[in-house]
Amino acid sequence: MIYETAEDWRNAPQKRVLLFAMSGLGKTYLSKMLRDTGDWFHYSIDYRIGTRYMGERIADNAKREAMKVPFLRDLLRSNSIYIGSNISFDDLKPMSSYLGKPGDPDKGGLLWDEYTRRQDEFQEAEIAALHDTGYFIDRAVSLYQYPHFICDTGGSICEWVDADDATDPVLTDLASKTLMVWIEGTDAHTAELIRRFDKEPKPMSYDPAFLLATWKDYLAEFNVAEDKVDPDDFIRWAFAKALAHRQPRYEKMAENWGIKVPMDAVMHVHDTEGFVSMIADALEMRS
């Protein structure tokens, strides 16, 4: 790790941190809080994906839908109107809409081949965005003169890495440049995440092998054809399985490549001093 001890961390003139966890456990809360101090550069992996790597695909998908409407089709073909993605740190819905959900097209679902094609695109984009971390660390200093850096990753980071592989290209790259910090939730937090997701299911991205196995299990358990699956019902059903699937992956990432902090501690952090102390405590616990 780039900071071996709490003292190393506290004395570092340039603090560089990468947060990973399931969505809803405080990654973005901490990142925004630090960014608002004026001393921290906030690099959002999801925002980078949605603008640099998938922005054109997202916009083209919206145009494809607009082309189905004769009035809009004529305006688009004559370049009389513009359709683009207004993705932001606070609103990633354009990217979620593009990823979509598998199932019945009449219920807004995507056929399996199209759905997995978009999943593959997202995997490639997220890995590229993660590798861009070093570029943004340098850019934050040389261009914007921010002394400190925080990387806010997506929940799917654990899907593309092997934490037991000491040569994993993504983890090797990230750990050489940042202190990797896992925000660990409790069973109560997991239950709340499931409750929230059940209320408003949203598209997610998964390891292809896990996704295919989960899809086949769903089809078999409910005896339903692929093109008749209710998209929201499937992703609700899959979400709890995904949490159980990701938990040991996060644990291994923290064990082999970084540190962990409990979510309860995160919710008591309200300023830079509190954040620095929380990380220092975690480093002391690890040592």
173-199 average pLDDT score: 92
Kindly report the number of other CB atoms within 10 A of residue 163's CB atom: 19
200-225 average pLDDT score: 94
Model confidence at 215: pLDDT above 80: yes
pLDDT digits (tens, 9 = 90+) for 259-270: 999 999 999 999
Phi/psi zone of residue 128: left (φ > 0), alpha (ψ -120 to 50 degrees), beta? alpha
**196 near 275, Cβ under 8 Å?**
no
pLDDT at 213: 97
pLDDT at 28: 92
**129 near 82, Cβ under 8 Å?**
no
**156 near 46, Cβ under 8 Å?**
no
Confidence of residue 187 (pLDDT cuts 50, 70, 90): confident
Cα atoms in the Cβ-side hemisphere of radius 13 Å centred on 46: 23
pLDDT at 98: 92
pLDDT digits (tens, 9 = 90+) for 17-35: 999 998 888 999 999 999 9
The helix (H) or strand (E) run that includes residue 263 is helix 263-266
pLDDT digits (tens, 9 = 90+) for 136-182: 999 999 999 999 999 999 999 999 999 999 999 999 999 999 999 99
Model confidence at 65: pLDDT above 90: no
What is the overall mean pLDDT for the chain? 94
Two structure tokens written together for 247: 């938990």
pLDDT at 259: 98
**Residue type (1 letter), 231:** P
pLDDT digits (tens, 9 = 90+) for 35-49: 999 999 999 999 999
Q: At a CB cut-off of 8 Å and minimum separation 6, what does 129 contact?
A: 45, 48, 49, 52, 53
pLDDT at 253: 98
On whether the pTM is more than 0.85, the answer is yes
pLDDT at 227: 96
d(CA 9, CA 166): 23
Q: Domains in the chain, please, with CATH?
A: 6-281 (3.40.50.300)
Confidence of residue 287 (pLDDT cuts 50, 70, 90): confident
Percent of the chain at pLDDT > 90 equals 78
Percent of the chain at pLDDT > 70 equals 100
pLDDT digits (tens, 9 = 90+) for 129-149: 999 999 999 999 999 999 999
pLDDT digits (tens, 9 = 90+) for 81-106: 888 878 777 777 888 889 999 999 99
